[in-house]
Every structure is written in C-alpha cells, then in structure tokens.
Amino acid sequence: MKKIISFLSIFLLLFLFVDAFEKISLKQAVEDGLKMSGSYKNRFLSEKEAGLRVEQSLKDKLFSLDFSADYLYRSDIMTIEFPGIDIPGMISMPGKSYEAGLYHNYDFSVSLKQPLFTGGILSRRVEMEKVREAVEANQTELEKDSFIDLIKSSFYDYQILISQKKAVLSLRHALELHNQKLSDLYAEGLVKKTDLLETKSSLEETDMNINDLDQAINKVRIDFHRMCGHYPAEIDTEYKEAEQSEEQALDYFKNNHPVLKTILDQKKVLELQKKIISGKYLPSINGFAELHYGKPGIDYFAKEWSLYFQGGVVLNVPVFDWNKGSCEKNIIDVSIQKLENQRDDFIKDITRTLRQLYSAKESLDQKKANIENMIAYSKEDAELKKELYEEKQIPNVDYLAALQSEKKYEAMKDELSLQIEKINVKINTLISRTKEYGL
C-alpha cells in the first residue's frame, strides 16, 4: 500500500512539473496570435505596397526607352517637274520629273526620353510616397495595438471568470458540508426540514451559477484559442501589465500615438501636394534622342532604307489656366485645417478617456482596501451566525446568507485585482505603449 501511495505521489509531482513546464508567457501567446492574424498580415502587405510605390516614383525620374514600328500608305506623292531646255544651235535638254517619297513608307525607331527639369514635381512625388509609406506603418501599429488589447482582455476575462468559479465552488463545498451535517441532525429529529430544504435550494442555486460560469468560461476559452492558437489555461498567470502615472501616460500619448503621427504625415502629404501644384506652373524641360531606320528615310528622293539619328530638348511653359492652381491650393489649405481640428478632438477624447480610466482604477484600489476589511468582518460574522444557528437563536437562512457573503467578498478581492490589470491593459493600448513593453 505504501508503495502505491509513493508511486501516486511521484506521478502527481511529475504531472505538476510537466504542467508548469508547458506554460507559456502571455507575450508568446500575443506573438503567435499576430502571426495567425490575417488582418495583421494584410497590414504588412499594405506597407509593402507603399514601398513599391516609392520605388515606382523614383523610377519616374529616370529615362524611358521605347521602340516603335510604323507603316504609312500615301495615295499620292509629291512630284517635282523640271522643264526642258532648248537653245537653238547650242543645246537641247528634255524636261524631267522627280518623285519625292513613296506610296509605302516604313519607319523603325528607338527613342529615349529623359526629364531634365520638372519644377520639382517628380522629387515631391517621391517624398510624398515615402510619407504615405510611414502612414501605412502607423496603421500597422494601430492594428497591432487593437489585436494585443483583444488577447490580453480575453485572458483577464478568463481569469476573472475562473476566480468567480473558485469562489462559487468554495461556497458549494461549505454548503455541502453544512447539508451533510443537517441531514444527520434531521435524521435524529434535531432540526426542521425547512432548514434542510433551504440548504438544498442554496446548493441547487450554486450549481446553476457554476453551470452559467462554465458556459461563459468556455466561450472566452474558444475566443482566446481562435485568436492565438492557445488556451488561457496554458498561459503563465505571473504576467503583470506595466503601469505609469496619468501625466506620464498623457505625455507618451501626445508624442508617440500612431493616429497623431498619421495626422502629421497627412499634413506633410498635403503640403507636398501644394508644392507639386506650384511646380506645374514652372517651365518643364525634357530631353529626347531617337534612332530611326526607315524607307525612304530622310532623303525622299533616294527612296532607300536609311539609318539616322535625331535628338533635342523640349521646353514647355504654362501661360494661362484661369488661376486653377490657386484654387487647388485653397482646397488643400481647408483639408489641412480639418486635420488640425481632427487632431484637437482626438487629443481631447483620449485625455477624457484616460482620466476616466485612472479614476476607475483609483476607485478599485480604494475598494480593495475596503474588501480586505469586509472579508475579515464576513468571516467573523459567518462563524458567529453558525454558532447562533447551532444554538437555535437564528434561522438557518441567516447563516446561509452570512456564508454566501463571506465567499462573495473573497471572490471580489481577486476580481478587483484582475480588473485593475484590465484597466492597465486599456491604458497602455489607448496610448499605444504596447511596443515599449515588448508586446
């Protein structure tokens, strides 16, 4: 018998060791979830797309090379007539006719074009695409923050439900012991049947609560697994969310939040667009060089295939367009002002939400101190009422109520700590501080 007990003890220790060894960090769960997320993968594709646009805009500044082949049919060609010369007694030359060109004309050419001066338009476009690439990176950070918030919040929701279930199970255990004791006393005729029925009803109600909690736990468990491929029970519960003061959080938000960075980048894009508009009204110069092989070629009288080269510079100067450029710039100025207003509203909204979160956190901290006292009071109250009930000075229902209060306050203590952790998660997500903490 001792050997069997020893073997079971060793097996239990090994099981606990393996279970502890298989635990993973919440950070690892988040990283695995990000790898699984299709929307997060698409954000990187959007960044890649923006990078390709930068490359494309850079290539617009380089020369282009084209090949063309032309065929042209003319129903008539130019003819040059030279009249005859007849000098009596000296010389006589008959008239002559020359055809210039052919009915069937062919031309093969390779042409090179190179922008020489565009009023800064091409350079501004490159800068604009680089800023847009930065905007996409900011959007990726926002997507990441949102996903991290979902996983962490789901994890703490699971922990809160587990804490509630532990409290209900503890209550059930106490009720079960009380019910067994009452059953024995009832069999001896020492207690009323109503006491026994009240206790059994409390047990049934507790079982219903356990069933509801199991359903809620299972839902959170499935959602968490869908997001990261792990179950909440696999996650190490030692993780604590980083904290900072309200002033520190607000300062970090104003200097690092992706939305504020995006608004700033969008303003840069609009300013660059204004410069591009200005560039449209400056002279533009393009160089070109062409190599031709055609028939009849340059010499229309030779009517043979010929190879020739031509090149030059094209100057284009805008003169008048009803002042459209000024109107376009005014429209952009309005868009910039709208972005400024959007930024101000966003800062106000986040500042208000931060104050609400810190206020809620302060309230929970105060409640924790109150709960500590209430747990001590409820334990003492339950013990006193148990004695009073056994002395038949109070009804059984009063003792059951005291017992439930004791377990309720114990559950509230753990739940308050987890709620504070959830608020810390919301604060760090709100100010986009997840990256700094390695998540």
C-beta separation of 297 from 101 below 8 A: no
pLDDT at residue 16, as a whole number: 42
Q: Is 90 exceeded by the pLDDT of residue 106?
A: yes
pLDDT at residue 6, as a whole number: 45
pLDDT at residue 386, as a whole number: 78
**The whole model's pTM is what?**
0.79
pLDDT at residue 436, as a whole number: 54
pLDDT at residue 5, as a whole number: 37
pLDDT band at 99 (very low <50, low <70, confident <90, very high): confident
pLDDT at residue 405, as a whole number: 76
pLDDT at residue 401, as a whole number: 76
DSSP secondary structure string for all residues of 135-184 = HHHHHHHHHHHHHHHHHHHHHHHHHHHHHHHHHHHHHHHHHHHHHHHHHH
pLDDT band at 320 (very low <50, low <70, confident <90, very high): confident
Q: How far apart are CA 358 and CA 370, in angstroms?
A: 19
Strand, helix or coil for residue 235? strand
C-beta separation of 237 from 152 below 8 A: no
Instruction: For 141-189, write each residue's pLDDT tens digit.
Output: 999 999 999 999 999 999 999 988 988 888 888 888 878 888 877 787 8
What average pLDDT does range 257-264 have in this prediction? 95
Residue type, 204: E
pLDDT band at 273 (very low <50, low <70, confident <90, very high): very high
Q: Is 90 exceeded by the pLDDT of residue 423?
A: yes
Q: What domains can be seen in the chain, in order of their start residue?
A: 25-62+118-282+318-430 (1.20.1600.10), 67-86+95-117+283-317 (no CATH)
Strand, helix or coil for residue 24? strand
Q: How far apart are CA 161 and CA 232, in angstroms?
A: 11
| Percent of residues in the chain assigned helix, strand, coil, to nearest 5 | 65, 15, 20
Phi, psi for residue 107 in degrees, rounded to 5: -150, 125
C-beta separation of 267 from 278 below 8 A: no
Return the half-sphere exposure (C-beta side, CA atoms, 13 A cut-off) of residue 423. Answer: 24
Q: Would the CA dihedral through 6, 12, 14, 17 be positive or negative?
A: negative
**Terminal CA-to-CA distance of the chain, rounded, Å?**
51
pLDDT at residue 19, as a whole number: 45
pLDDT at residue 2, as a whole number: 38
Q: How far apart are CA 239 and CA 242, in angstroms?
A: 9
C-beta separation of 286 from 111 below 8 A: no
C-beta separation of 255 from 182 below 8 A: no
What average pLDDT does range 349-363 have in this prediction? 95
pLDDT at residue 7, as a whole number: 42
Q: Is 80 exceeded by the pLDDT of residue 57?
A: yes
Instruction: For 12-37, write each residue's pLDDT tens digit.
Output: 444 444 444 578 999 999 999 999 99
